[in-house]
Amino acid sequence: MADKTRLMQLVYYAIDKASPDNLAITPGKNSLQAISDCTLTSLKITSQGVADMWQIINVFAGGYAGGKAVPQADQTKCKTVGDVWKAVCKAPNVDPSL
């Protein structure tokens, strides 16, 4: 359970890092659950930001819940924050419920 929480923190950090909005200090957007329905484009994450986001996730996901890097084919299918979270959970077989 602790690993899942840390995995959620990692994904939220990667998304916040890629977005010019200060999500963590914005009411209503300061958790992974709160932004799970948001598209990456609505958070103003450009294609360069998307690349940065996946680099952060793939480099560090291995440390949590047996996580593994998300394959490129799965990355391109992710349109929303929820899609990103499910793709990350798919590899280590973590329960994707938020």
Partner 1 sequence: MYRLALLLIGTCFAVQSALASDAGADFSLRAADEPAPSARPWDKGASFSYQNTDGQASWLTDAVLKAAYSWDQKFTAKPGQPEFQAGSIRWNVNAGPYLHKLTASQKPQNDRGVSLSLGGHLVPGGSATGAVTDLDFGITVTNGRKLTQGSGTLSSSYFDVGSERQMLSVATYYQPEDSGHSDLVYFFQLGAKGYSDNAYGSQNPQVNGRVNGAMGQVQFSLAPLGLDPKKHQLGALGFAPMISLNAQTQHDTSATGGRNAGNHRLYSATFSFPFVNNNDQEYSGPVPSVDIKRSTGADLLEGRENKGVTSITLSVKY
Where does this chain bind partner 1 (CB under 8 A)? 6, 9-10, 13-14, 16-26, 39, 41-42, 44-46, 48-49, 51-52, 55-56, 58-60, 62-63, 68-69, 71-72
Write down the least CB distance from residue 45 to partner 1, Å: 8
Q: Enumerate the H helices of the chain as residue ranges.
A: 2-18, 47-60, 72-75, 81-90
Q: Rounded to the nearest whole angstrom, what is the least distance from the CB of residue 24 to partner 1 in the complex?
A: 6
Residue in the structure block whose two tokens are 């990350």 = 88
Nearer to partner 1, 33 or 55 (CB): 55
Contact 78, 84 (CB under 8 A): yes
Would you say 33 or 39 has its CB closer to partner 1?
39
> How large is the C-alpha radius of gyration of the chain?
12
Of 20 and 96, the one with the shorter C-beta distance to partner 1 is 20
Note the Cα 59 to chain centre separation in Å: 13
Tell me whether residue 72 or residue 97 sits nearer to partner 1 (CB atom): 72
